[in-house]
Amino acid sequence: MKRKFKFTFLISLLISFTFAYAENNISLIEAAKKNGISLYWDSLSESGLLEKNGHQVSFRKGQEVLIMDSLFIKLTDAPELKDNQIYVSQDFMDISNNLFNKKDDFTFKVGAVLIDAGHGGKDPGALKTYKINGKDTTIREKDINLKVAKMLYERMKTAYPDKQIILTRSTDVFLSLSERTDIANNVKVKENEAILFISIHVNSSLNRTSSGYEVWYLSPGYRRTVLDKSSVDTDEKNLFPILNSMLEEEYTTESIMIAKFIMDGLAGQIGKDSIARGIRAEEWFVVKNSNMPAVLIELGFVSNEKEALLLNDDKYLKKATLGIYNGLSAFITHFERSQGFTSIR
């Protein structure tokens, strides 16, 4: 999503005065229950989200910034933790409730889906040669990736004619990792639209018994710049690290949810033909350099003969593609129904 933040500030003297005398005496858990607000809290990052009526407020312990609907910010009293409870001020609640009671036609949606077929051209990726029908056949990762990417592209284009569905490559050509992320980062969408990045790969291992599919997302420990500095007012550049960090955590949360939906989709289609290895975190280049929610899918192991033969079978790849599609479709439905809101786990 292209976040363009709009700022509402008091003069610095008034801000200092307000923060000096405000009192955090409201239990956020109790206030949320009373007002029908959904509260999501991540104890590791000490940040949270409030959601009601399709609107959301992002906040963090000890910081005086609220991000409203991922589009603009307001300053208020910094939330506190007391006896493992979140406490906020009346001003914090008034600002939040004003947003939740706001009536408008502004809706969030997924505007573009980038489908990246890993490797290609001079870079075959993982490969292995097996006897198939008495003939030596080399199974190449780049070919499998492209087949699945193109099948997924066709399904997505048919299901979502109003969205940009983009392939990083549609033929057997070589693209560097930086070229792939440049394609993703240069996609133009509206302010209220999100971009999703899906990279498709096949695995290999020295252990020939290794098998199964998995979905990777960017490790939360890796810090990156995902917010355009030009979206922050010149006079308030000191807020940039806070805003960037909060947006980055939102991308991580969304990536985890995409990974979960895709894993569920694959399990529903593949069944017992292969095993689910789970959702994992890593600093893959195409994931860590894409400024959007992003996942990398490993469909199986070409180093495992049984699984390699499955990956060489178009019928199996169609099932895997349908699983990925079902997962993406479920995430898009969730994202758009909740107005761009995803819960912290």
Q: What is the DSSP string of 26-52?
A: EEHHHHHHHHT-EEEEETTTTEEEEEE
Helix H or strand E encompassing 245: helix 240-270
Instruction: Calculate ∠ Cα 330-332-336, nearest 5°.
Output: 120
First to last CA, the chain: 21
pTM confidence score? 0.67
Mean predicted lDDT score pLDDT of the chain = 82
Lowest mean pLDDT among 72-76, 91-95, 276-280, 301-305: 72-76
Over the stretch 204-262, which tens digit does the pLDDT of each residue have? 999 999 999 999 986 655 444 444 555 444 444 454 454 445 455 566 778 888 999 99
Q: Are 295 and 258 in contact (CB under 8 A)?
A: yes
Confidence of residue 300 (pLDDT cuts 50, 70, 90): very high
Q: What is the 3-state secondary structure (H, E, C) of 250-290?
A: HHHHHHHHHHHHHHHHHHHHHHHHCCEEEEEEECCHHHHCC
Q: What percent of the chain has pLDDT over 70?
A: 77
Over the stretch 2-54, which tens digit does the pLDDT of each residue have? 444 444 333 333 343 444 445 889 999 999 999 999 998 888 778 888 988 87
Q: In what order do the strands lie in the sheet with 85-88?
A: 26-27, 85-88, 80-82
Q: Are 204 and 193 in contact (CB under 8 A)?
A: no
**Nearest Cα residue to 180 out of 121, 224, 140:** 121
Lowest mean pLDDT among 131-135, 141-145, 183-187: 183-187
